[in-house]
């Protein structure tokens, strides 16, 4: 097609797993926690669906503000943290700017970088051309001092830190992120999609650093991927700029209503988070007992390594979806921690597959 931009010609559309399945453990979705609470929502809002929504989602931002104790002037909301990532790039990226992150990490950083004409530089576990060691160690943990050196050398406009990291599950210590913030001129964007399962959020530090942006979502720990709500936190000046480029009415009224209700009742996630941690540790142990290499996780998923050929397909034949990877991560798999029953179905199937392998 002759009109399409040269620089995005080989982009592929995002492929979600939407076939039939019995157990879905491929997208880090949480449990459906708010069904009963949502049933009590007053249908009164329906009478206003002919009107545009509140453009800046004021009521919702007020609720989020109470929930996390951050002024509402320092909050922007939108369609998932995916929109937040885009808004950051829209506001700050000029042609050819560099975005520094690591690999493996959330794949959309690379895609959005291309779309917004930035050069994505992903630090991986390999040594540099000059032989200097990588900031990323073999177990996907990070050497913060080496990362700061690389940031200095590469001079990116933005450093994108997924913390805890998807798909590795690795959590960078808060002290390390603060060290990075103090030692770089770049904007540091911390994607905290999974932080509820861990500790060390940066949201309390947004006034302390003029170069800090934090992204959050309701898609994972709150189990609300279907309503598409993400939010951004930063000092009022950054938020002011982001608001100038945000589309008006970017968040629909239904999401605003449901998200307000969820956040007012968000204490119900505490139990769930504890359950996920127990299940996660049990799953990790079970995987290790099968002789698989398992990575420590601070999230609701587990990265593991297995040389079983076509493991994903074999699980899929049994109605179970997990996530595999290409591009240097062959033989690695990301497994979402499900509920007790789902995890058992998965483990039983995996044991069978391992047994077949050996016979």
Distance CA 289, CA 301 (A): 18
Binding to ligand PLP in span 240-299, by CB under 6 A:
none
Q: Give the one residue of 63, 176, 178, 191 binding ligand PLP; rule: CB under 6 A.
A: 191
Instruction: Report the C-alpha gap between 67 and 44 in whole angstroms.
Output: 24
User: In this complex, which beta carbon is closest to ligand PLP, that of residue 163 or of residue 306?
Assistant: 163
Tell me if residue 191 falls in helix, strand or coil.
strand
Q: Which stretch binds ligand PLP (CB under 6 A): 51-59, 76-84, 317-325, 338-346?
A: 76-84
* Cβ nearer to ligand PLP, comparing 177 with 350: 177
Can residue 168 be called a binding residue for ligand PLP (CB under 6 A)?
A: no
Please, which residues have CB within 8 angstroms of residue 293's CB and are 6 or more apart in sequence?
Answer: 304, 305, 306
Token digits of residue 292: 């698989």
Please name the residue that has the structure tokens 């491929």: 26
- Is 193 a binding residue for ligand PLP by CB under 6 A? The answer is yes
**Collapsed DSSP state (helix, strand, coil) of residue 125:** coil
Q: Smallest distance, Å, CB 142 to ligand PLP?
A: 15
CA-based nearest residue to 151, from 110, 112, 123, 190 = 123
- Retrieve residue 194's tokens: 């999974």
**Strand, helix or coil at 189?**
strand
| Interaction of residue 219 with ligand PLP, rule CB under 6 A | yes
- 302 is an interface residue for ligand PLP by CB under 6 A: no
CA distance 93 to 104: 22
Can residue 106 be called a binding residue for ligand PLP (CB under 6 A)?
yes
- Between 214 and 349, whose beta carbon lies closer to ligand PLP? 214
Using the rule CB under 6 A, is 110 a contact of ligand PLP? no
Single out the residue of 57, 81, 184, 336 in contact with ligand PLP (rule: CB under 6 A): 81
Q: Which of residues 199-218 bind ligand PLP (CB under 6 A)?
A: 217
* E strand or H helix at 123: strand 119-123
Residue 210 DSSP code: T
* Using rule CB under 6 A, residue 99 touches ligand PLP: no
Q: Note the residues at the interface with ligand PLP (CB under 6 A).
A: 28, 80-82, 106, 162, 166, 191, 193, 217, 219-220, 225, 230
């Amino acid at each position: 097609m002759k009109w399409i931009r040269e620089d995005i010609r080989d982009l592929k559309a995002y492929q979600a797993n939407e076939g039939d399945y019995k157990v879905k453990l491929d997208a880090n979705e949480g449990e459906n926690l708010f069904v009963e609470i949502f049933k009590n929502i007053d249908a009164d809002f329906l009478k206003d669906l002919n009107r545009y929504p509140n453009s800046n989602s004021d009521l919702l931002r007020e609720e989020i503000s109470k929930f996390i104790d951050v002024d509402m002037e320092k909050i922007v909301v939108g369609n998932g943290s995916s929109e937040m990532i885009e808004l950051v790039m829209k506001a700050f990226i000029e042609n050819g700017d560099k975005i520094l992150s690591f690999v493996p990490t959330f794949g959309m950083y690379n895609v959005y970088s291309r779309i917004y004409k930035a050069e994505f530089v992903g630090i991986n576990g390999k040594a540099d051309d000059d032989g200097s060691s990588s900031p990323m160690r073999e177990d996907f943990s990070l050497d913060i001092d080496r990362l700061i050196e690389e940031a200095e050398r590469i001079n990116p406009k933005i450093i994108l830190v997924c913390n805890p990291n998807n798909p590795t599950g690795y959590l960078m210590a808060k002290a390390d992120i603060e060290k990075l913030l103090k030692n770089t001129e770049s904007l540091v964007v911390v994607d905290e999609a999974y932080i509820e399962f861990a500790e060390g959020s940066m949201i309390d530090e947004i006034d302390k650093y003029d170069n800090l942006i934090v992204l959050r979502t309701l898609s994972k720990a709150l189990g609300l991927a279907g309503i598409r709500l993400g939010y951004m936190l930063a000092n009022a000046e950054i938020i002011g700029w982001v608001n100038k480029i945000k589309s008006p009415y970017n968040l629909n009224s239904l999401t605003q209503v449901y998200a307000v209700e969820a956040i007012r009742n968000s204490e119900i996630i505490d139990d769930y988070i504890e359950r996920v941690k127990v299940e996660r540790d049990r799953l990790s142990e079970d995987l290790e007992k099968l002789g698989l290499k398992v990575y420590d996780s601070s999230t609701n998923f587990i990265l593991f390594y297995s040389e079983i050929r076509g493991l994903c397909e074999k699980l899929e034949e049994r109605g179970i979806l997990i996530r595999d990877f290409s591009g240097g991560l062959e033989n690695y798999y990301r497994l979402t921690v499900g509920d007790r029953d789902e995890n058992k179905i998965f483990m039983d199937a995996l044991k069978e597959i391992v047994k077949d392998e050996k016979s």
